[in-house]
Every structure is written in C-alpha cells, then in structure tokens.
Structure 1
C-alpha cells in the first residue's frame, strides 16, 4: 500500500529536509510542478557524478527533462531524454548524446560522470557504463543557480513548458563533486553503502515542492 506523505496542489516553497526511502511522483504533465533542490555546497564544478533512479511511461518520442541546473543567464547542467530516445546532457551550450537502454515503467538506475581535465563523460545505466565521449574539456560549471527536478526553466525560475516536464517517479537523487569509481557506482546501483553525496544526499536533502508533486514511501 502506498502512503502519501505530502501533496502540494499550489506553489509551496517551505524548505523540507530528507527523502530517505521516499519517492517523488510527478503524476501528469504540467508547466508548474517541480521540486527545487538546495545544494549542500556551491556548485562550482570541474567534475561531478550525478545519480538518480527514474521510471516513466511517457513515449520515447516525448522529450523529458531529468535534471536542470540554471544560473541567471545559462543552462549550466541539463540532463534530458531526447525525442529520438537518446539520453543527453548539456553544459552551457550544445549537448552530448548517448544511446542507452530505454527508460520505462520499470525503474532505471542512471548515473552521469564528467570531469573537466580530460572532458571524459559517460552515462551508467543499471551499473553498466556507456562508451566514453569527450565533451567540453576545460569547462567549469558555475555556481549560484537553481536546481529543479520535473521542469526545464528557459529563464531563471521561469519559462516552464508542459511538453518537456517529467512525468513518472524519481528517487535517490545524489550528486558528488568528483567522479565516482566504477565499483562505487555499481555499489550505489545495488543499494550498497557508498560515500554520501557532498552536493546532494537524498537522505538529508533540502528541497522545496511546488505544484502537484507527491512524496510517497518507496515500497
């Protein structure tokens, strides 16, 4: 039995803490439902690992935003499932694209790693790494922005589009300011203990809900 802990039908920006053993449910597409995440440290990044578990029944030809980080003038880090089914991410400009097993109604463990020195980037799906691609060596992600789950802001906290919104379930969103090793990513996939995310840690995450987003037990 699913226990609904909180439903927000109107914008609510009260900060809440901790989502251990909880799932965010985005029940249908909107241009107003999202979760804002408050990082534990400044997101001035020259490397990162971003992990999440996602499930969706949206058709493959429907574009989906999976993670959005925007400063006042730039999309600093956006992760997408594209209309052609590929998964991509963008660092302040043109993106890089990967062909992964399709997202589906069954939960996928998805991680993304990137580091500035070499530009090496890869996605990990259920503990398996994609081919490496070289993307934006020397780049830095800038701090003082806003992180959203569920929507892609085309301007700072604005310009939301229903046809890009996330619909489905999302949990275990964690982020580190370094590249996790293969063994650590595979351990995370299987639910084993790994170092807590020093940017986002799902168990102690500070977040704000807006619109129609449910927080339910991860049964």
Structure 2
C-alpha cells in the first residue's frame, strides 16, 4: 500500500513539472514580444536560478544596444503613467474639496428647536433657514405692502390736493415697478440656473437697501397725515414675519413691584401671532415678554418664568387684552375684551421688574435691544399700548376695553407717537379704537 502511494506521488510530480515547463514557455512567448518582427520561436535555454526568464530571453534574442533602448523606453513610459496618475489624483482631491464646500453652503445644518435661538449669523431678510425662493416670496410681499401704502397715500393726496405728494408718489411707484422687475428676473434666473445662487446674498443686500430707502421716503410722505391727527390716535402695522421690522420705546421702565399692561391687537398670523412686546435688561433678555410662538398658547414671561394665558386673538379682528401682576406671591390675571379669562400665582414671586432696560414692540429679544428671530416676530396691528405700575381693577380694565370716557392712560408708559421710533418698514396709521367697535 505504501509502495503504490509512492509511485502515485512520483507520477504527480512529473505532471507538475511538465505543466510548469509549458507555462514557462507561454510566459516567454506572451511577455517577451518578437521585437524584430519575425515569427515567434520557442527555444529551450538554460537559465541561472536567480535570473529573470524574460530578461534572459531578451538577452539571447536581441543585441545589447537595442535592449538598452527598449528598457529606457519602457522606463520612460512607466514614469509618464505614474505622473499622469498623480495629476489625476490631485484633480480628484481638488474637485472633492470644492464639492464638499458647495454642499456645506447649500445645505446648512438645522439649528435646535426651542424658544431660544443659537447665536450665529442672521439672515437679514428673515429666518436663517430661508431658501432663495422663500426670500423672493418675502420680497414680493414687502412690495405688495409698499404698494398698499402708496394707494393709501394716493387717496390722501386726492383728498388734500397735494401736488408734492403726487409727484413723490409717482417717483416711488416707478421705483417699486423696477423692484418688481428685479424680483421677477431673479425668479427666472433661479428657475433656469440653480447653480447661480452664489450671488444671492449680494443681490438680497442691494434689494433690502433699496426697500429701506423706499420705506424712508414713504414714511416722510406719510408725515403729512400726522399733522391732522392726535398723537395717540395711531396704530403700528407689522405686515411681514421678519427680523428687522420693529418699534422701540424711547425710554426705559422704572423698577416695578406690580404692573398692568394693556393693548389692542389684530392678527390672523399662524402658527402664533408672535411677540407683541419684549422688555430686556442687562443680564436678562426675558425680564418681561408677551409671546405666542409656534403652536404654543400665548405666554407671559417674567424673569424667564412662564405663565400660559387663555387668549385667542388670531382671527383677524381687533381684541383688547390686559395682563396684571404683583410681585407678592406672583399673582397674575388675564383679560380679553374686558372679561377676565384666567388667573394664577407663583409667577416670579418677589422679583421686581428691573429698570434700565430696552422695550421693543414687535420682536422678541435674545440680547439687550437685539438678537431678533423672524419666527418669533409679531405679525399684525398693535395700538393703545399702555403700562401702569399698579394692578388695575376689573372696572378700570372694562372701561379701557369699551372705550369709556373714564378710561385712563398708563402712568409708566402712554401711547404717543413721539414716544416711539419705528424701524425696518413697520408703519404707523391712523387708528381709533372706539370706531373699530362700531
């Protein structure tokens, strides 16, 4: 049994040897081409153990000078291919880097949710997450607002036979028409060529600058209306949800251990009407804030403490609202249209409202006097904003809501045009609360 096995092994080894020999011939024939152009021949030649078969065959079949030239050519070809590969790798790395930067610019990471907004570069046309199409839509809304104001001015000029008002109106109308053409042109360019968005920020800045100029010219034109109305018979209008429309009260609030805040509001914004007012002091942006943000109910914030208010006002109608508060036990009451809708306690108890702050109408402050977030901006109309440093009685609040002759004005802040500066396109219009109720 062992003898037969040994014989089989010898036969197997011989077969392997013949196969290796045949493969060697094939290798020589396939790798070592006939450089002389003649017919290929198989030659059995003894080769040293450590010598390359291909090199040995070339050495036997070609003159030394031709062999050297061929080797140099092959070496040069290899070097050229290697250089080409390196250049291609460098090009691929460069293109990959550019693609990564483009993707990073076109798809910013979303910020975290919640009332507070992360610090960063803000989009001057609104929310930082807005895309070009949203921005252009917002510009179109702004232009519509300007056109509406011009129509009101046209009616005013007809009633007053004002030649100057007519000439300014025509000039502003012409500029608005030019802006509309710019917006339409921009929309078409975006539809035709999506990659051409890199100049969006630059063009948006130019358009916003033009709009600011138009707003200022219209505001100057509207001054003619103010001469014929009392200083307290006006309303503020915030037509768009932006982070640049707001009004600022010229003076700060004193230290208060109790207060009543009342105002008229009209809005149909959804979700949430935004922030009718916010008062910030150094070190505390949420010293006193009224806000209805997202799908949350309206809230009153005092020193960052929150109470939910049972107001429903986003129906496009005028509503009178009041909130009272005392530092003792943090007791609060909420009134809508002269009727108490809710009350509670433990809202920032024994914390007096601090002085030396900034009072803003229409925006929520993340920093003292700034840090506005478009998603929290008030959209609608606001009028007769008053503040008292005491808790008004139910009867006093009812008189305010029903335009009674016994209604009082705020002793801390009273509603006067001379007490407010407006920015970013917010506008002032004649308003009489009692007329709205009839």
Per the normalisation by structure 1, the TM-score is 0.87
Pairwise CA RMSD: 2.6
Q: In the alignment, which residue of structure 2 is the partner of 1:207?
A: 420
What is the alpha-carbon distance in structure 2 between the residues aligned to residue 210 and residue 121 of structure 1? 32
Per the alignment, do residues 117 and 94 of structure 1 end up closer, same or farther by CA in structure 2, a change over 3 Å counting? closer
Aligned equivalent of 1:147: 359
Q: Residue 32 of structure 1 is aligned with which of 225, 240, 244?
A: 244
1:85–1:99 contact (8 Å) kept in structure 2? no
Deviation, 1:3, is 5.7
Aligned partners of 1:79 and 1:88 also within 8 Å: yes
- Which structure: greater strand fraction? 1
Q: Post-superposition shift, 1:70?
A: 0.2
**Highest RCO, 1 vs 2 (Cα 8 Å, sep ≥ 6):** 1
Q: How does 1:73-92 map to 2 (within 5 A)?
A: 73-74=283-284, 75-92=286-303
Q: Deviation digits for residues 110-159 of structure 1, max 9, x if unmatched?
A: 10100112321011000011232002221111000000001111001221
Report the CA distance shift for 1:216/1:3 in structure 2 as closer, same or farther (over 3 A).
farther
- 2:277 aligned partner: 67
Of 211, 216, 219 in structure 1, the residue corresponding to residue 429 of structure 2 is 216
Tell me how far 1:214 sits from its aligned partner: 0.7
The 3 A distance-change label for structure 1 pair 3 and 88 is farther
CA contact (8 A) 2:266 2:313 kept: no
> Does the 8 Å contact 2:325/2:332 carry over to 1?
yes
- Is contact 2:236-2:427 (8 Å) kept? yes
- Aligned partners of 2:152 and 2:403: how far apart in 1? 21
Seen in structure 2, the aligned counterparts of structure 1 residues 93 and 62 have a Cα distance that, compared at 3 Å, is: same
Moved more, 144-153 or 202-211: 202-211
The answer as to 2:266 corresponding to 1:51 is: no
1:215 Cα shift? 0.5
Provide the C-alpha distance between the structure 1 equivalents of 2:152 and 2:332, rounded to a whole number of angstroms. 37
Partner residue in 2 for 1:100: 311
Quote how far apart the aligned CAs of 1:178 are.
0.3
Structure 2: 5+ residue runs without aligned partners? 1-150, 157-210, 217-225, 433-438
SS of 2:366's equivalent? coil
Compare CA radii of gyration and give the structure with the larger one: 2
Aligned residues of 2:323 and 2:332 also touching (Cα < 8 A): yes
Deviation at 1:94, TM superposition (A): 2.6
Please tell me whether the aligned partners of residues 244 and 423 of structure 2 are also in contact (alpha carbons under 8 angstroms).
yes
Q: Is the 8 A contact 2:303 2:348 kept in 1?
A: no
- The CA distance in 2 between the partners of 1:87 and 1:73, in whole Å, is 24
SS of structure 2 residue aligned to 1:209:
strand
C-alpha distance in 2 between matches for 1:30 and 1:187: 34
The residue matched to 1:185 in structure 2 has which SS? helix
Aligned pair in 2 of structure 1 residues 54, 118: CA closer, same or farther (>3 Å)? same
* Partner SS state of residue 395, structure 2: helix
TM-score by length of 2: 0.45
Contact 2:245 2:424 (8 Å CA) reproduced = yes
Counterpart CA distance in 2 for 1:155 and 1:3 is 36
Preserved contact between residue 327 and residue 352 of structure 2 (Cα < 8 Å): yes
**What does 1:140-219 correspond to in 2, within 5 Å?**
140-192=352-404, 193-203=406-416, 206-218=419-431
Distance, in Å, in 2 between the alignment partners of 1:147 and 1:38 is 8
Unaligned runs of 5+ in 1: none
